Structure 1
Amino acid sequence: MKIVIAGGSGFVGQKLTEVLLQAGHEVVVLSRCAKNGAIQWLTEGTTPEKMLGKVDAFINLAGVSINDGRWSTEHQKQIYDSRMTATDELLRIISALPHKPAVLVNASAIGIYPASESIIYTEASTAIADDFLGRTVNHWEQKAASVTAEGVRSVCMRFGVILGKGGGALPPMILPYKLFAGGKVGSGRQWLSWVHVEDVARAIAFAIENDNLQDPVNTTAPFPKQMDDFGKTIGSVMHRPHWFPVPSFIMKIALGKKSALVLEGQHVLPEKLLANGFVFNFPHLEQALQDILKDNV
């Protein structure tokens, strides 16, 4: 298939491009800079639809990272606006194409679900968090899903906390353990629904190829962990102690509003992926960390 990725130069996009190319697909990347074969978009006067030809699938990973910055009012606006602007432009491109793609796979996040220590969320759950991340993800999904008016299947992949080498959420999480200062963060009871970046890329490819998958799709490993157990597993894999607790107020001082990412959490299960036969390469945290951290232990 010919697959177009918006946001293909990022952490997930690079792994996804690798997975798709290995599977024999043609990959085209939309980028603000037309280099390394990418097609320029989101700059004044560009008309990427004139250069794309017939496309089988679009993947939208574009947007300012939620892992950077302190979630100031300005940064929150950048996070929100970047997602809305990129998705609007993708919808315009798809509308302008004479041959419509079969599917739009849009990035999303489990942050749409309210934080809870007791609720287990599946795709059937309808609760939406009344906070910045919940509202952002909800609006983003609604906008992406409007592509169905063009006769295009819509799949919003609700990513969990993505773990991998050289990016994502893991590097700052393992740093205290490298310094022999790792330990429980906050209460330790908050859920962390994680997923290996390789399984994220494979799940996106799976969603493209399986017509049964439609909005939304939880993209998390089937065995989430509570934060204290997550830290203990890091310590075990890295052969470091898990003993130095970090109180919630310290995280709030250090991270500001973004501290919600580590002090609150959701217990999320990938019901649709499992029901449709997707097999995770890394269903358990210990094996995922052993793969990612093998050069650090």
Structure 2
Amino acid sequence: MKIAIAGGSGFVGKHIAQYFAREGHNVVILTRSEKEGYGNIEYAKWMDGAKPIPSLEGLDVMINLAGKSISSRWTEETKKEIVESRVESTREVYKILNGMDKKPSVFINASAVGIYGTSEEKTFTEESNGTDEDFLSSTVQKWEQEASMIRDLGIRTVYARLGIVLGEGGVLQKMILPYKLYGGGPLGSGTQWMSWIHVTDIAGLMDFIIHHDEISGPINMTSPNPVQMETFGKTLGKVINKPHWLPAPSSAIKLALGEMSILLLEGQRVLPKKAIENGYTFIFPSLEPALSDIIK
């Protein structure tokens, strides 16, 4: 197959690109700058007004991960960039696909479990309603709404609602640092839920979606075993053999991170109901083996 990945140069995108390349597929990474390809991975410049992109001829799958990282302090300017980068990149994908005579069979648009809002009591599945109660949930609503336009082109469209992705890179490296300095401990109350997923299962689920035509619309990309933040911290400390003892009060985290502190202090318990019902078998369903695999 030929698989294009917009945003394929980021932490998650690199893992997905390498996964499909290892499986023998041809991967085209859409990038804003010229890059040299390798093996069966090539780069194609986009978002510069040049259309069509010749290397996308014969495309079977389009995956969109493009968007500014949310892991920087949410100033008004940054929030605008986070929203606009997602909307604009998805519009560009629409233009590309709309201009193709032979369109890909499936479009997978990255999304986030943040669409459900935050709660310590509720459990969310794909059947749960989204909300716009905070910046993150409203951003995801706008992102999915933009992506739904591609469905109107007759292309099977899937919204991959990612939880917190664990892997070599990404947010986990920032969470490990305090433990390495013997300062790890509970964040805030510790009772907030963390719906996580190993990056290997992100790639596995993408592959699963491609080969299961019955899957469309939202799908939660989270482990079937979410944990509360206190459990996550204790498990992380155990895996790297460091103490879990020094609490970080909510007030200090809010002072340091501002509105972005919601990512650490509030969460949601999300279950991957659609993946399980359709027969996907998680490679890393439980936290300790997942962390042990990453922290070798």
TM-score by length of 1: 0.96
Q: CA deviation at 1:253?
A: 1.1
Greater than 4 Å deviation, 4+ residue runs = none
Counterpart secondary structure, 1:150: coil
How do residues 175-214 of structure 1 correspond to structure 2 at under 5 angstroms? 175-214=177-216
CA distance in structure 1 between the aligned counterparts of 2:84 and 2:56, rounded to whole angstroms: 25
Question: Can you give the 5+ residue segments of structure 2 that lack an aligned partner in the other structure?
Answer: 37-41
1:145-173 Cα distance to aligned partner (Å, 9 max, x none): 221111100001000000101x2110111
CA distance in structure 1 between the aligned counterparts of 2:224 and 2:119, rounded to whole angstroms: 17
Structure-2 residue corresponding to 1:234: 236
Structure-2 residue corresponding to 1:78: 81
CA distance in structure 2 between the aligned counterparts of 1:185 and 1:23, rounded to whole angstroms: 39
Letter in 1 for 2:265: L
Letter in 2 for 1:15: H
Counterpart secondary structure, 1:27: strand
Letter in 1 for 2:80: K
> In the alignment, is the contact (CA less than 8 A) between 2:2 and 2:25 conserved in 1?
yes
CA distance in structure 1 between the aligned counterparts of 2:185 and 2:3, rounded to whole angstroms: 42
Q: CA deviation at 1:50?
A: 4.0
CA distance in structure 2 between the aligned counterparts of 1:111 and 1:262, rounded to whole angstroms: 12
CA distance in structure 2 between the aligned counterparts of 1:129 and 1:287, rounded to whole angstroms: 34
> In the alignment, is the contact (CA less than 8 A) between 1:106 and 1:155 conserved in 2?
yes
Q: Does 1:49 align with 2:53?
A: yes
> In the alignment, is the contact (CA less than 8 A) between 1:41 and 1:48 conserved in 2?
no
Question: Can you give the 5+ residue segments of structure 1 that lack an aligned partner in the other structure?
Answer: none
> In the alignment, is the contact (CA less than 8 A) between 1:7 and 1:29 conserved in 2?
yes
Structure-2 residue corresponding to 1:106: 109
Q: Does 1:31 align with 2:53?
A: no
Q: Call closer, same or farther: CA 1:136–1:225 in 2, change over 3 Å.
A: same
How do residues 78-97 of structure 1 correspond to structure 2 at under 5 angstroms? 78-97=81-100
> In the alignment, is the contact (CA less than 8 A) between 1:186 and 1:248 conserved in 2?
yes
CA distance in structure 2 between the aligned counterparts of 1:48 and 1:292, rounded to whole angstroms: 39
Aligned length: 291
> In the alignment, is the contact (CA less than 8 A) between 1:162 and 1:169 conserved in 2?
yes
> In the alignment, is the contact (CA less than 8 A) between 1:110 and 1:268 conserved in 2?
yes
Kindly report the root-mean-square deviation, in angstroms, between the aligned alpha carbons of the 2 structures: 1.0
Q: CA deviation at 1:49?
A: 3.4
CA distance in structure 2 between the aligned counterparts of 1:73 and 1:201, rounded to whole angstroms: 33
Q: CA deviation at 1:219?
A: 0.1
TM-score by length of 2: 0.96
1:4-55 Cα distance to aligned partner (Å, 9 max, x none): 1101111011100111112221111111012123111012x41143442111
CA distance in structure 1 between the aligned counterparts of 2:52 and 2:130, rounded to whole angstroms: 37
Q: CA deviation at 1:127?
A: 3.7
Q: CA deviation at 1:115?
A: 0.6
